[in-house]
Amino acid sequence: MKYDYLVVGAGLYGSVFAHEAATRGKRVLVVDKRPNIAGNVYTEDIEGIHVHKYGAHIFHTSDKRIWDFVNSIVEFNRYTNSPVANYKGKLYNLPFNMNTFYQMWGVCTPQEAQEKLEQQRAEALVKLNGREPANLEEQAQLLIGKDIYEALIKGYTEKQWGRPCTELPAFIIRRLPVRMIFDNNYFNDRYQGIPVGGYNKLIESLFEGADVQLECDFFDTVNSINCMNWRGIAKKLVYTGPIDQFYDYKFGHLQYRTVVFETCIENTVNYQGNAVVNYTEREIPYTRVIEHKHFEMFGAEIETCSKTVISNEYSIEWKPGMEPYYPVNDAQNNRLADKYREMAKAETDIIFGGRLADYKYYDMAPVIELAMRCEV
Ligand code: FAD
Ligand code: UDP
């Protein structure tokens, strides 16, 4: 047998696993059905700009071990995510902080902002009448008040999830920070940035020491490497594709949300002055506009590239054949995923890992941690 591991999926999980295994002298073959490595962190070069083809990716973590690991592979830049929200032509800083409160209410000190927030929270408490918030709308109004909920949350969230806020779980909104300081950093994590030279460089470096075959679908038996014959190729399988597909949808299909990207080149050096602008009103069909150059170009460098590339993002319900992006971790889907996970647990020569195989909405750092923790 030629390989110790066959890894299905050349994304972040597959690449970190391959790196760890190759470092320990193991022979690794990686296959991916796409024509490129890097899974969802892949970037395409357009006009000298790294365009995040499968959605904007900002690396962030508080785990020094993970940060040191990625920095041992490539250097990271100083990008700090500070999205701006556009509501009916007026701009607000995110996440909710003193800048947002000033823009919304004209309050200048934390005490003034606190008073305004308490007043609005009191109204939300009266409506709850002693109950816990039962949905996202109730939770958001309790967290941040109705003014900000109506301008910055309601429309955006309903576009993103395709459901009314009254039918969405409260936890979704709890991950957004609320700060009584002037701080537009979207994340609370200690470390943040984008790989210098782009994500592809990170993943290419991780694959040094492994063999990689692209445009090879594991379930397509026309390929020489596939689900029927893999045991003749490698001792163990590492599978990072959708878990329901692995078991041929035996218990039914899991659901996802997906995003459609409308990408175009604009003949200007600077289109919106920021990498991320969220459009929070319901009437504008896209959720946000990404201007890719701002992830990796700063200051005078922005002017050296005469064009810019932008992507409008539309969030839609996933159907078979589309890219599965966000697992819908509601009770029904989680129950179904548990059935598949039970089957996966019984396998002795197959490792399941990553966002699709675990059916969990992981950020990049947790995916790296899981792949590093895996015993090879
Ligand atoms: P993937 O990157 O999906 O890789 C799986 C690979 O398996 C794919 O390349 C796929 O083609 C391949 N594959 C699947 N089935 C088969 C098959 N049958 N045969 C062969 N190959 C197959 N995280 C952050 O930390 N910060 C962010 O800002 C951020 N933004 C995001 C934005 C979007 C729109 C999305 C969807 C995710 C975002 N994430 C972000 C999460 C991040 O993308 C994931 O944590 C990470 O990429 C998961 O890596 P993975 O290897 O598990 O999956
Ligand atoms: N959200 C919002 N307005 C915004 C940005 C986010 O209402 O301008 C809400 C939305 O419901 C989203 C949640 O906050 O699902 C979490 O935001 P985050 O950016 O963490 O979501 P992600 O796109 O990473 O899932």
| pLDDT(340) > 80 | yes
Region 55-82: mean pLDDT is 98
Mean pLDDT of the chain: 96
Ligand of minimum distance to the alpha carbon of 173: 2
Region 11-17: mean pLDDT is 98
Can you give the pLDDT at residue 123?
96
| pLDDT(355) > 80 | yes
| pLDDT(174) > 90 | no
Tokens 């040094």 belong to which residue? 208
| pLDDT(329) > 80 | no
Q: Quickly state the pLDDT bin for 86 (edges 50, 70, 90).
A: very high
Strand partners, 237: 6, 350
Region 118-122: mean pLDDT is 97
Strand partners, 278: 85, 288
Can you give the pLDDT at residue 144?
96
Catalytic residue among 189, 211, 363, 369: 363
- Ligand 2 atom closest to the Cα of residue 363 is 24
Cis previous bond, 95, omega within 30: yes
Instruction: Considering only residues 49 and 330, tell me which one the structure prediction assigns the higher pLDDT.
Output: 49
Answer whether 135's CB lies under 8 Å from 146's CB.
no
Can you give the pLDDT at residue 212?
98
| pLDDT(328) > 90 | no
Can you give the pLDDT at residue 320?
86
Ligand of minimum distance to the alpha carbon of 368: 1
278 lines ligand 2 (CB under 6 A): yes
Residues comprising the chain, all counted = 376
Amino acid letter for position 4? D
Q: What percent of the chain has pLDDT over 90?
A: 93
Q: What percent of the chain has pLDDT over 70?
A: 100
Q: Quickly state the pLDDT bin for 362 (edges 50, 70, 90).
A: very high
Does the active-site annotation cover 363?
yes
Can you give the pLDDT at residue 290?
98
Going by alpha carbons, the residue nearest to atom 49 of ligand 1 is 12
Going by alpha carbons, the residue nearest to atom 14 of ligand 2 is 173
Q: Quickly state the pLDDT bin for 169 (edges 50, 70, 90).
A: confident
Tokens 């320990």 belong to which residue? 24
96 lines ligand 2 (CB under 6 A): no
Look at the alpha carbons of 198, 288, 33, 347 in this order and tell me if their dihedral is positive or negative: positive
Q: Quickly state the pLDDT bin for 243 (edges 50, 70, 90).
A: very high
Answer whether 296's CB lies under 8 Å from 198's CB.
yes
Instruction: Considering only residues 329 and 295, tell me which one the structure prediction assigns the higher pLDDT.
Output: 295
146: phi then psi, degrees, rounded to nearest 5: -75, -30
Can you give the pLDDT at residue 34?
97
Answer whether 219's CB lies under 8 Å from 226's CB.
yes
Can you give the pLDDT at residue 222?
94
94 lines ligand 2 (CB under 6 A): yes
Query: pLDDT by residue (tens digit) across 307-319?
Result: 999 999 999 989 9
Query: pLDDT by residue (tens digit) across 252-295?
Result: 999 998 999 999 999 999 999 999 999 999 999 999 999 999 99
| pLDDT(359) > 90 | yes
Query: HEC states along the chain?
Result: CCEEEEEECCCHHHHHHHHHHHHCCCCEEEECCCCCCCHHHCEEEECCEEEECCCCCCEEECCHHHHHHHHHHCCECCCCCCCEEEECCEEEECCECHHHHHHHHCCCCHHHHHHHHHHHHHHHHHHHCCCCCCCHHHHHHHHHCHHHHHHHHHHHHHHHHCCCHHHCCCHHHHCCCECCCCCCCCCCCCEEECECCCHHHHHHHHCCCCEEECCCCCCCCCCCCCCCCHHHCEEEEEECCCHHHHCCCCCCCCCEEEEEEEEEEECCCCCCCCCEEEECCCCCCCCEEEEHHHHCCCCCHHHHCCCEEEEEEEEEECCCCCCCCEECCCHHHHHHHHHHHHHHHCCCCEEECCHHHHCCCCCHHHHHHHHHHCCC
d(CA 118, CA 38): 46
Can you give the pLDDT at residue 175?
82
Residues framing ligand 1 (Cβ under 6 A): 8-14, 31-34, 39-41, 55-59, 217-219, 240-241, 259, 325, 354-356, 362-365, 367
